[in-house]
Amino acid sequence: MAIPSCEVSLTNNGVYNLGKIASGAIDPTKTKLLKEINGEVTVMCEADTFLNFSAVDNREGTASSIGNTHFGLGNVNGAGKLGFYKMKFFGATVDRVAAAVYSENKGSASIEATNGVYVEKGKVTGWATREDAQASGKFFQAYLAVEPVLASLQDMGGTPAEGTKLDGSATLSFSYAL
């Protein structure tokens, strides 16, 4: 039996555009939660398979607040940090039937299914049954929302220059097998 091939697609090719943010919107000492942006992950496979993914922060070390769910938005003013974002994975279906999701340590022997999880660095995230098992199927869908948080002027090391880009980037690596 051959390993199935799968095609992964994300809304807008995985680009979440935060738009322009006026420098006056940046608080001197507090972070600011920006508008959540929703996207969708769709995976079509040739045969039934289990599916999960892991995330790597391509801007590691630039998050203004440290945490396994905090992905960096880039640096500004030298070592200043622009903020961070979290990715929420929820609303899953497998073969067009409602499913659950999970996020567990790599190699974990068991999973705990839930309706939604925050994607964590160093963990695998995937589709599950309501009975705490990985779900198998050919057609997987789920929402992947980005929750950006703007750092304070203090964390940025001063006012950013006009045109400074929030430059977060993560790689999602999908794994599937029989």
Residue 138 CB neighbour total at 10 angstroms: 16
Q: 77 lies in a domain?
A: yes
Q: Which helix (H) or strand (E) holds 153?
A: helix 153-156
Helix (H, G, I), strand (E, B) or coil at 156: helix
The lowest-confidence range among 58-67, 121-130, 154-163 is 154-163
Q: 151 lies in a domain?
A: yes
111-131 pLDDT tens trace: 999 999 999 999 999 999 999
Q: What is the CATH number of the domain that holds 75?
A: 2.60.40
Our count of domains for the chain comes to 1
Q: 19 lies in a domain?
A: no
86-117 pLDDT tens trace: 999 999 999 999 999 999 998 888 899 999 99
Helix (H, G, I), strand (E, B) or coil at 155: helix
pLDDT for 178 beyond 60? no
Q: 20 lies in a domain?
A: no
For residue 140, what are the domain limits?
Answer: 7-12+25-157+165-177
Q: 1 lies in a domain?
A: no
The average confidence (pLDDT) of the chain is: 94
Q: 112 lies in a domain?
A: yes
Q: 169 lies in a domain?
A: yes
* pLDDT level of residue 12 (50, 70, 90 thresholds): very high
Mean pLDDT of 152-174: 93
Question: pLDDT value at position 163?
Answer: 86
Q: 17 lies in a domain?
A: no
Question: pLDDT value at position 1?
Answer: 44
State the DSSP code for 39. E
